[in-house]
Amino acid sequence: MTEQQADHQLWIEKYRPQTFAEVKGHTEITKRLQAFVEQKNIPHLLFSGPAGVGKTTLSLIIAKTLFGDNWHHNFLELNASDSRGIEVIRETVKDFARTKALGTELPKIILLDECDALTKEAQQALRRTMETYTRTARFILSANFSSKIIDPIQSRCTIFRFKPLSQEDIKNIIMNISKREGLKIDDKTIAAVSTVSKGDARRAENILQSCSAISKTITEKLVYEIVSAAHPEEMKEVLQLAVQGSFIQARDKLLDVMLKHGLSGEEIVKQIQETVWDLSITDQAKMQLIEKCGEIEFRMVEGSDEFIQLEALLASFVLAKK
Ligand SMILES: Nc1ncnc2c1ncn2[C@@H]1O[C@H](COP(=O)(O)OP(=O)(O)O)[C@@H](O)[C@H]1O
Ligand SMILES: [Mg+2]
């Protein structure tokens, strides 16, 4: 890799742990997974938990440790929220699982990310696929909430519940990257990045990389600027579209903002709530919307589908004007 390419590399990839030992936190989970790999006996796995804590990373480490240099041939990563649907997933799995793994007698590994995006019917189809190829392939399913996965799949998997990383783990990740990238960052700023990341290493690394594009000296002020940069304005635009009745436009714009800044549904609701005050609607409408935000946030924490909840919230903004 040339220096310039390396320069443009995303830190979340550049600093993705390559071995079990490099993974921060999740001590018990890592130990058990490592044992599966040592015994060369991997069951179907279900990784549930929040974003950016190492679910994909550990799946890759399992494949790399099991298959060595051939890992690429024997590992398939798919996203269940792929809009082309479960049929495409099944076809892809079929093509992949049909042939023997390269350089090993072991089953291949298929990582299916975001399984909670699948409908119950699609999950039934997935379950049948898992059964059909159980001799030639092992599935690692990942989901934010295991409760959204149907019982017949859960009962076929060994379930691992990931928690957000501790502040200590996030701080260590930040310090390591800062050292390797030659950043100047003090303890208070490290604590700030750690706080706003809420246990999500991907977010911590992305914030750090965004800051470093502006200055190699990272300050607390810069961190908060990056984290909140443009959000209030962008969010205001979304909500204004909604109160003007342009629901579809508002929804598309909201999705844009979410993806661009890597925000979770809960973070979006908090930002929406803060922005309500800036809208030109009656005070009473504002109060109702604030209350609605609270309700939606509660449902998300309870594990309800984030997009459906955000759409419902936007719908109440459309209705607020009337
Ligand atoms: N436990 C961890 N230890 C060290 N780095 C981590 C850990 N979890 C996540 N990261 C960092 O965040 C990035 C994204 O993690 P990933 O495994 O893709 O998260 P997810 O749980 O959403 O699948 C990784 O490439 C790595 O840089
Ligand atoms: Mg992932």
pLDDT the model gives residue 3? 45
Query: What pLDDT, on the 0 to 100 scale, is given for residue 232?
Result: 66
Q: Is the pLDDT of residue 7 over 80?
A: no
Tokens at 85, concatenated: 């649907």
- 97-108 pLDDT, tens digit each: 888 889 888 999
Cβ–ligand 1 contact at 111 (below 6 Å):
no
Q: Which two tokens stand for residue 218?
A: 């990272």
Q: Give the CATH fold of the 26-161 domain.
A: Rossmann fold (3.40.50)
Instruction: Choose which residue among 53, 112, 194 to substitute to test ligand 1 binding: the one with the highest number of ligand atoms within 8 A of its C-beta.
Output: 53
Q: What's the pLDDT tens digit per position in 42-53?
A: 999 999 999 999
Paired strand residues for 141:
46, 112
DSSP-assigned states of every residue in 125-160: HHHHHHHHTTTTEEEEEEES-GGGS-HHHHTTSEEE
pLDDT at 83 over 70: no
State which CATH number among 3.30.200.20, 1.20.272.10, 3.40.190.10, 3.40.640.10 fits the domain covering 231-320: 1.20.272.10
Q: 92 and 126 in contact (C-beta within 8 Å)?
A: no
pTM, entire model: 0.74
Which ligand minimizes its atom distance to the CA of 52? 1
Residue 280: both structure tokens together: 């030109």
HEC letters along 219-239: CHHHHHHHHHCCHHHHHHHHH
CA of 12 to the centre of ligand 1 (A): 7
Regarding the beta carbon of 262 and ligand 1, being less than 6 Å apart is answered: no
pLDDT of residue 271: 85
CATH code 1.10.8.60 for 167-228: yes
Count the residues in the chain.
Answer: 322
Q: Which pLDDT value is given to residue 6?
A: 53
The neighbouring-strand residues paired with 45 are: 140, 158
**How is the chain split into domains, by residue range?**
26-161, 167-228, 231-320
CA distances from 157 to 58, 142, 147, 302, 310 (A): 16, 11, 13, 23, 31
% of the chain beyond a pLDDT of 90: 60
Average pLDDT over residues 79-86: 79
Residue 1: the pLDDT is 46
Q: What single-letter amino acid sits at 11?
A: W
Q: What gap in Å lies between CA 86 and CA 101, rounded to an integer?
A: 23
Question: Which ligand 1 atom sits nearest the alpha carbon of residue 58?
Answer: 17
Q: Which long-range contacts (CB under 8 A, 24 or more apart) does 213-216 make?
A: 216/181, 216/182, 216/183, 216/184
Contact 159, 46 (CB under 8 A): yes
Average confidence score pLDDT of the chain: 90
**If you average pLDDT over residues 299-319, what whole number do you get?**
88
